[in-house]
């Protein structure tokens, strides 16, 4: 788990991750004021199954839906349901797919119509933090280099990284070693090797870093009620640098 993989393993993960990418592109077309999170979930599940995949989240430890939908102050793991989106919301959509025994995982935060300047900046900085982390996914680097790159960009921008939840290795299982925190020291942690595949996922709060799990047992929200954004990619450590397996060829 989390060790160097043969090229066919990378291709297996890529196939699953590309379904994830297509779903997220479709989500960007469907997200709008008035749509419910259950409707988003139905679209996502249909597309996953039509693409030859299986929704990896559905049934995972009892999770009831194909995707996670986390709105405004919700950080991650929001359960789709009757709630409708409103103008000015932001929504983090996390998608996991299993295909032929391999897993892919990615997430994106979408703006619903016109959002506040702070919300827009939160989304932008979180996406930038992911790019900073991905750039460190190189052979010979360490997990702490990824963590530090994310944390530095976020905190320099005046926001906070969530410390209670982390990224992870991915492959034959959705969650594998190593853990990939969004905070840490450069040069520390496990060394990255060619063929290793990681899910890097900054979770960034506009306010403090504290979070709490709601009564549904899944939804993680900020403790202070300030908004949060989430971006994630599945990335392979290639011989020449990061290879983003969940990148959409259409974007």
| Confidence band for 1, pLDDT divided at 50, 70 and 90 | very low
Q: Is the pLDDT of residue 3 over 50?
A: no
CATH number of the domain encompassing residue 170: 3.90.230.10
- Which residue range forms the structural domain that includes residue 98? 7-244
Residue 249 lies in a domain: no
pLDDT at 249: 82
Domain count of the fold of the chain: 1
pLDDT at 251: 62
Q: Residues 194-205: pLDDT tens digits?
A: 999 999 999 999
Of 186, 178, 119, residue with least CA distance to 150: 186
Q: Is the pLDDT of residue 6 over 90?
A: no
Predicted structure pTM score: 0.95
Residue 251 lies in a domain: no
Q: Let me know the angle formed at the C-alpha of 242 by 241 and 244, rounded to the nearest 5 degrees.
A: 150
Residue 234 lies in a domain: yes
Residue 36 lies in a domain: yes
By CB neighbour count within 10 A (0-12 exposed, 13-18 middle, 19+ buried), where does 170 fall? buried
Residue 172 lies in a domain: yes
Residue 182 lies in a domain: yes
Q: How far is CA 73 from the centre of its chain?
A: 16
Q: Residues 174-189: pLDDT tens digits?
A: 999 999 999 999 999 9
Cβ contacts of 82 within 8 Å, gap of 6 or more: 36, 37, 38
Q: Residues 9-35: pLDDT tens digits?
A: 999 999 999 999 999 999 999 999 999
Q: Is the pLDDT of residue 46 over 70?
A: yes
Which percentage of the chain shows pLDDT scores above 90?
A: 96
Average confidence score pLDDT of the chain: 96
Q: Cα-flanking dihedrals φ and ψ of residue 109, to 5°?
A: -105, 125
N-terminal to C-terminal alpha carbon distance within the chain: 31
């Amino acid at each position: 788990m989390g060790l160097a993989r043969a090229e066919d393993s990378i291709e297996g993960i890529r196939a699953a991750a590309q379904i994830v990418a297509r779903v997220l592109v479709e989500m960007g077309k469907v997200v709008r004021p008035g749509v419910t999170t259950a409707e988003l979930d139905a679209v996502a599940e249909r597309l996953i199954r039509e693409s030859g995949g299986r929704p990896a989240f559905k049934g995972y430890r009892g999770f009831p839906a194909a995707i996670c939908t986390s709105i405004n102050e919700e950080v991650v793991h929001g359960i789709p349901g009757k709630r409708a989106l409103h103008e000015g919301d932001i929504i983090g959509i996390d998608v996991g797919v299993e295909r032929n025994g391999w897993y892919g995982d990615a997430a994106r935060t979408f703006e619903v119509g016109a959002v506040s300047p702070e919300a827009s900046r939160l989304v932008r900085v979180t996406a930038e933090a992911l790019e900073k982390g991905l750039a460190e996914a190189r052979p010979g680097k360490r997990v702490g280099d990824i963590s530090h790159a994310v944390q530095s960009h976020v905190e320099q921008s005046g926001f906070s990284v969530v410390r209670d939840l982390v990224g992870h290795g991915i492959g034959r299982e959705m969650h594998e070693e190593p853990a990939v925190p969004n905070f840490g020291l450069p040069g520390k942690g496990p060394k990255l090797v060619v063929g290793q595949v990681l899910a890097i996922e900054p979770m960034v709060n506009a306010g403090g870093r504290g979070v709490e799990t709601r009564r549904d047992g899944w939804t993680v929200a900020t403790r202070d009620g300030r908004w949060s954004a989430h971006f994630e990619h599945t990335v392979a450590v290639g011989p020449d640098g990061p290879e983003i397996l969940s990148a959409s060829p259409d974007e």
